[in-house]
A = this chain, B = another copy of it.
Amino acid sequence: MNFKSDNEAPAHPAILEALAEANQGFATAYSEDRYSNRLNERFSEVFETDCRVVPISTGTAANSIALAEISPPWGAVLCHENAHIHNDEGGAPEFYSHGAKLVALAGDNGRLTPDSLAAAIDGAGVHGVHNVKPSVVSITQATECGTVYAIGQVQAIAEVAHQRGLPLHMDGARFANAVVSLGCSPADVTWRAGVDVLSFGLTKNGALNAEALVVFGHDEWLEGMQRRRKRGGHLLSKMRYVSAQLLAMLENDLWLELAGTANDHAARLARTIEAADGCSLHWPVEANEVFVRAEPEKLADLKSRGFEFHIWPGHNDLARLVCSWATSEEQVAELARAISGR
């Protein structure tokens, strides 16, 4: 039973149906098809504002293209020390941005704090050209720790950034899980809270390979993003299949339904862990990831029973359990039983 990553789940059947439907006949290449052409309008409805959408097939590319557009090569991207862009993208943000520096900051539960962010921005760059130049703030929603920024927390971060002339990027690889967790509208925790560009991820949430940059009020970034997408080899000739996935996920709020399922599974596991002996939650469970602390022997025992999950690098008593839309109630129940030892 796979609790390793939502990346390892299959795509939802609605996605395959959307691909089949998009596969009727010829379509203009390079993102000029009828699916891609509907994205701006459709996302503008979902986000309740006139936004612009750049479909991209991976989150790493989406993040990197966004950051490269906002930050000059001599810029600094301020992010949490656990951020995916800092740790897990093999240097893609540095590649796309031609060498911008990622400045990683500490913060409890995977969240940047306004104060430490303000101090970091104010302290960097005091020596002019001798320093890199703070250029963009990036937060992850939901965070790498399975927590979620409250709306007010996003607002506070945005305020710190904007007061200093820096835009705010949100890495939303698990954005749907955060929105469901907060019970808010997508708008509330993005542009209304000060987010300037969102990497909107659906791959982890049941798509094959479908992500998008959603740009709020910065049309001046569009050309550069599209140029960078092309130069990165991410302007798919048959983009219709990516765009069709995006549209299918938004249909009837499927994206929120699937994220809700994953979150519910995680919440159940969290309750089990809190109640069980010999293990505890390492971070609050607010989305679809559960970080459990337990004796290495106990974790090994779970693995031997067929539960697959990752041990946190460098911490043999910390395991990450990820639930997905495709995780079944039975699997969760079985894992819960194994954890609680009953």
A residues adjacent to B (C-beta < 8 A):
2, 4-5, 7-11, 16, 19-20, 23-30, 56-62, 64-65, 72-74, 87-92, 94-102, 123, 126-127, 129-133, 203-204, 208-209, 224, 226-238, 241, 313-314, 326
Known: A91-B100, A98-B95, A127-B88. A232 touches B233 (CB 8 A): yes
Residues A99 and B102 in contact, CB atoms below 8 Å apart: no
User: By the criterion CB–CB under 8 Å, are B10 and A209 in contact?
Assistant: no
Query: In the complex the two chains form, is B208's CB within 8 Å of A238's CB?
Result: yes
Q: Specify the main secondary structure of chain A where it touches its partner.
A: loop
* A92-B230, A209-B241 known; A25+B10 contact, CB < 8 A: yes
- Please determine whether B23 and A11 come into contact, CB atoms closer than 8 angstroms: yes
Answer whether A235 and B123 are a contact pair too, CB < 8 Å, given A25-B10, A73-B91. no
Q: Which residues of B contact A87 (CB under 8 A)?
A: 130-131
A27/B8 contact (C-beta < 8 A), A90-B129, A99-B98, A231-B91 known? yes
> Which residues from chain B contact A29 at a C-beta distance below 8 Å?
4-5, 7-8
Contact of A130 among B90, B208, B236, B241 (CB under 8 A): B90
Copies in the complex: 4
Identify the closest chain B residue to A65 (Cβ): B233
Determine how close the nearest CB of chain B comes to the CB of A125; give it in whole angstroms: 10
With a cutoff of 8 Å between Cβ atoms, the chain B residues found around residue A30 in the complex are: 7, 130
Partner of A90, one of B4, B58, B92, B230: B230
Q: Which of B27, B230, B236 touches A209 (beta carbons < 8 Å)?
A: B236
Chain B residues contacting A24 (CB-CB under 8 Å) are 10
Chain B residue nearest to A27 (CB atoms) is B8
Nearest-neighbor residue (CB-CB) of A11 within chain B: B23
User: 26 A-B Cβ contacts within 8 A?
Assistant: A4-B26, A4-B28, A11-B23, A19-B19, A30-B130, A57-B236, A58-B234, A58-B237, A60-B230, A72-B227, A74-B90, A74-B227, A87-B131, A90-B230, A91-B231, A92-B231, A94-B101, A98-B99, A101-B102, A123-B314, A127-B313, A129-B229, A129-B235, A204-B237, A232-B233, A234-B234
Q: How far is the CB of A259 from chain B (nearest CB, A)?
A: 17
Closest to A308 in B: B26
B90 touches A94 (CB 8 A): no
Whether the Cβ atoms of B90 and A227 lie closer than 8 Å is yes
Question: Which of A129, A203, A231 has most chain B Cβ within 10 Å?
Answer: A231
Expressed in whole angstroms, the minimum distance between the Cβ of A329 and any Cβ of chain B is 16
Which of the residues B10, B123, B230 comes within 8 Å of A27, measured between beta carbons? B10
User: By the criterion CB–CB under 8 Å, are A95 and B16 in contact?
Assistant: no
Q: How far is the CB of A72 from chain B (nearest CB, A)?
A: 7
Cβ-closest chain B residue relative to A84: B130
A232 contacts B61, C-beta separation under 8 Å:
yes
Q: In the bound complex, do residue B88 and residue A99 qualify as a contact, i.e. CB atoms below 8 Å apart?
A: no
Q: Contacts of A19 on B, CB cut-off 8 Å?
A: 16, 19, 208
A140 to chain B, nearest CB (A): 16
